[in-house]
């Protein structure tokens, strides 16, 4: 009972930090605005050029913008951890919660829950607004295959945020973490993952697995846009990357001075 109460107190403390940091609202709002705004623009563009569309996929309009909107959640995850190191408050936090494993777990759980809530809301609203913009060419949220893609999108956004938190804990710097993650995720999602010379390796990066999970990549076996694994394989890859970052973050926090 005492350990449970202690863990709950740590979680409540981390939740308070999230609510009181100004950057939290901005980065989460950025995720939502980018996703919904770009999703609407993509849908309107597809609608205007529907006669020239090849292999038209109405769900694409409601999901593709998430590959850009995810950057807001990545920034949120990095700042949630990195701001304590840059401000020096990590020493105060560890003095208040000397059990570093509990401190790390509380911070990761608090961040993951916020990311999950924002991801679910963003995915649903983006999809609905984009389909509305498509007008008569839209699909329904309950159409065949759509629920799985929406769930996959929510899972991906949540896991990529948690992955970012683990990376930031290992690197102990917001600037270095963002300097690595943002170019990697942006450039990977926007084309480098389809370059034949790089695809063999890059297809196993977390953002590429996210494309497969949301069915935004080509079909499995497609020599140009496809990947060598299924959506279930993509989920396992994402979980593996996230778990590795959390293990690395935990070990770094426990073995190094604040």
Of the candidate ranges 98-102, 139-143, 198-202, the one whose mean pLDDT is the lowest: 198-202
pLDDT, tens digit, 9 for 90 and up, residues 214-251: 988 776 766 566 678 889 999 999 999 999 999 999 99
**Is the predicted pLDDT of residue 79 greater than 90, yes or no?**
yes
pLDDT, tens digit, 9 for 90 and up, residues 125-151: 999 999 999 988 888 998 888 999 999
Tokens of 20: 């009181």
What is the rounded distance in angstroms from the CA atom of residue 47 to the CA atom of residue 227? 28
Q: Are 123 and 66 in contact (CB under 8 A)?
A: yes
Closest C-alpha to 49, from 154, 175, 137 = 137
What is the rounded distance in angstroms from the CA atom of residue 130 to the CA atom of residue 51? 18
Angle ∠(94,96,97) on CA atoms, nearest 5: 60
Stated pTM of the model: 0.91
Q: How far is CA 186 from CA 50, 53, 61, 95, 142, in A?
A: 27, 25, 18, 37, 30
Average pLDDT along the chain: 87
What confidence category does residue 44 fall into, taking pLDDT thresholds of 50, 70 and 90?
very high
Helix axes 231-255, 100-134, angle to 10 degrees: 150
Token pair 């590959």 in the structure block, residue: 67
What is the rounded distance in angstroms from the CA atom of residue 111 to the CA atom of residue 75? 12
Tokens of 59: 């769900």
Closest C-alpha to 164, from 188, 189, 181 = 181
Q: Are 62 and 137 in contact (CB under 8 A)?
A: no
């Amino acid at each position: 009972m005492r350990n449970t109460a202690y863990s709950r107190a740590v979680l409540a403390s981390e939740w308070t930090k999230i609510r009181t940091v100004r950057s939290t609202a901005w980065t989460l709002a950025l995720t939502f605005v980018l996703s919904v705004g770009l999703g609407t623009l993509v849908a309107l563009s597809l609608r205007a050029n529907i006669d020239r569309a090849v292999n038209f996929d109405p769900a694409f309009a409601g999901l593709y913008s998430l590959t850009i909107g995810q950057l807001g959640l990545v920034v949120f995850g990095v700042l949630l951890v990195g701001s304590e190191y840059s401000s020096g408050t990590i020493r105060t936090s560890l003095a208040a919660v000397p059990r570093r494993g509990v401190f790390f777990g509380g911070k990761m759980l608090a961040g993951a829950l916020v990311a999950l809530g924002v991801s679910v809301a963003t995915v649903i609203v983006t999809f609905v607004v984009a389909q509305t913009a498509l007008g008569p060419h839209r699909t329904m949220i309950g159409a065949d295959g759509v629920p799985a893609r929406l769930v996959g999108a929510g899972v991906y956004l949540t896991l990529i945020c948690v992955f970012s938190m683990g990376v930031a804990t290992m690197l102990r710097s917001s600037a270095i973490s963002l300097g690595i993650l943002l170019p990697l995720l942006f450039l990977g999602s926007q084309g480098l993952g389809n370059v034949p010379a790089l695809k063999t390796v890059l297809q196993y990066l977390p953002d590429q697995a996210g494309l497969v999970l949301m069915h935004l990549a080509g079909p499995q076996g497609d020599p140009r846009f496809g990947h060598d694994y299924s959506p279930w394989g993509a989920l396992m890859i994402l979980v593996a990357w996230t778990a590795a970052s959390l293990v690395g973050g935990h070990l770094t926090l426990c073995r190094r001075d604040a």
